Each structure stands twice: as structure tokens, then as C-alpha cells.
Amino acid sequence: MSRKVTLKKLIEDFQLEVIYGWDQFDRAVTVAELYRPGLELAGFFTYHPVERLQLLGKTELSFIEGLSKQKRTERLERLCHPEIPCFIVTRNIEVPLELISASQKNKVPILRTSLATTKFASKLTNYLEKHLAPTTTIHGVLVDVYGIGVLITGSSGIGKSETALELVKRGHRLVADDAVEITQSEEGTLVGHAPDLIRYLLEIRGLGIINVMTLFGAGAVRAKKKISIAIHLEAWKEQQQYDRLGLDEEKVRIIDTEIPKLIIPVRPGRNLAVIIEVAAMNFRLKGMGYHAAQQFVQQLGTVIDEGDDFD
């Protein structure tokens, strides 16, 4: 799910001065990239990304000032495309009258900040990347196990929350129960957190809703966590062949990011909390270059080869 930021929120959060466009506050910004229209001011409009916020700093405005009145009017009118969210002038520089006139004609807001262009661009880019990052919500539990963000999924009643409670008792930290809001903060990175309404709450059937932070302390919870691995719990099926070596590595795609996925069959007598702890530690080992299953297969191959040589 993609999000948007309105000009009204942008103005409030960055305390921007409105030069023109008081009736355009409902305009939406939908992309995090900014644009400084240098080539366009020089007369090249072959590629002009009108969906981006347009920044005008000292460089751009000095160039505009050096143009003849006719060229200035002509290029600024072409620059003010109606689909542009807004122009933002930095350093509190005076806005050219031709730009105001063109903006009024095409109904494009003009805002101004006292910050330097580079500093403002950096702050605004970080802000937009955070607020416009694609998000989704998944039914499951997110737990921080040995520093690894583990997303636990499975059908209702399979034991996700009970497993999370056992993990918390063993010293790990709860991030979210029941609903996990996931944001793709950057390419290849998923960050999960709980909705505000159910933050730090855990639902245990037969017991009800408990507040993990109140019962176990602030060290038992986290506000958010990068998701590194997904573990799917399912009822044990006698006829199904489960991976016994760990060579088959499944992936699950969330938004545009793939993460490793393990399927853990559930039946009485299996300690799911311990299994998930080991899965998290094994994931860390793989990241450090040690893969137990691959090493076993290599050693097995060596033993078989030595046996053939002996024969």
C-alpha cells in the first residue's frame, strides 16, 4: 500500500512559509525524490519529472535572475506544470515575480524555507522516504530473538501468541501480536511494528489480553524491529515430507522484499520456543558463513568417496 503526504502536513512539519497556494493545501506528494530544475531553466524540457517536489536554491534563482525578462517569463511559465506538487524556495531568497505569476496561472503552490538547499533537501528526502514507504499488514507475531526479527505466522489458534509468550519468558522481546504493520523502509529492508491500539499487548486464549511491558518490564518489548526471517507454523501432517536437512531454503515475498521462510510442523511435545530460538541462532550462523546442512553433505560425500577408494 502506497502512501501520500499532503502539503498541509509538509508545511506544518517543516514550518514552511506560504508564498502562494493557500487554497492548495490538499495537494499530495506521492514520491520521495526531489528535483532541482536546472536544465529546464536553460530551456531543455525533454525530461521534466513533474511528479516530484521542485527545489529552487541559490544556484537556480541566480540563473533565473541573469536571464532576459522575456526568457525568464517564457521558461518559468513552461516550468510551472499544473501537475507539480509545489515549488520550495530555500534560504529565504526573494521569489521572482514571474514565478509567482506563472504559479498563479497554473495553480502551483510556492513555499519557502530559511534552510540552505542541501541541508533542507537531505531532511526532506529522509522525511518523505519514511512517510511514503510502502506498507502492509500481516496477521502474525513479531519477536526479537537474539537480535533477529522473527515473523511468526500460521492459522488462527495454532499457538503463535503462546509461543511468543514463552519466548518473552525466556528473555526475548515482543514487537507485535496479532497484527504486524510492515514498512519497506528501503530496498531489501522490512521493518515491523504493532498498531498503536494493541502495542505491547498479547492475547492468550483462556487468559485474555495481557500487557507484556507491565508484566515483564520495558526490557521485554520493542517498538519496532527489522524482519530477517519468517517462520510459518502449521499442524503436523503425517503424509507430508518435511525438510530434515535444511538444504531447501524457501523464500516469502513481502511487498517487494524476499526473506527466508521456515515451515515448522506443530504437534504435542514439540517445544516451539526452543525451535524458534535455534532457528534464529542458525540464521545468524549462516550470515557468518557457516551452513551446518551443507557441511554435513560435504562430509558425507567425503566419507562415501573414501569408501569407494577403499573398495
Q: Which of 160, 172, 173, 222 is catalytic?
A: 160
160 assigned ligand-binding residue: yes
CA distances from 15 to 9, 100, 120, 181 (A): 10, 20, 12, 29
203 assigned ligand-binding residue: yes
Active-site residue 244, yes or no? yes
Residue appearing with cell numbers 524555507: 113
Active-site residue 139, yes or no? yes
154 assigned ligand-binding residue: yes
Q: Are 272 and 204 in contact (CB under 8 A)?
A: no
156 assigned ligand-binding residue: yes
Q: Are 53 and 81 in contact (CB under 8 A)?
A: no
Q: Which of 36, 91, 178, 199 is catalytic?
A: 178
Active-site residue 160, yes or no? yes
Beta strands in the chain (DSSP E): 5-6, 17-20, 28-29, 34-35, 53-56, 87-89, 110-112, 135-139, 141-145, 148-154, 173-176, 179-186, 189-193, 201-204, 208-211, 224-226, 229-235, 250-254, 257-266
161 assigned ligand-binding residue: yes
159 assigned ligand-binding residue: yes
155 assigned ligand-binding residue: yes
Active-site residue 71, yes or no? no
Q: Which of 58, 139, 169, 205 is catalytic?
A: 139
Q: Which of 244, 253, 308, 309 is catalytic?
A: 244
Catalytic positions = 139, 160, 178, 244
Residues tagged in the binding site annotation for Mg(2+): 161, 203
Residues tagged in the binding site annotation: 154-161, 203
Residues tagged in the binding site annotation for ATP: 154-161
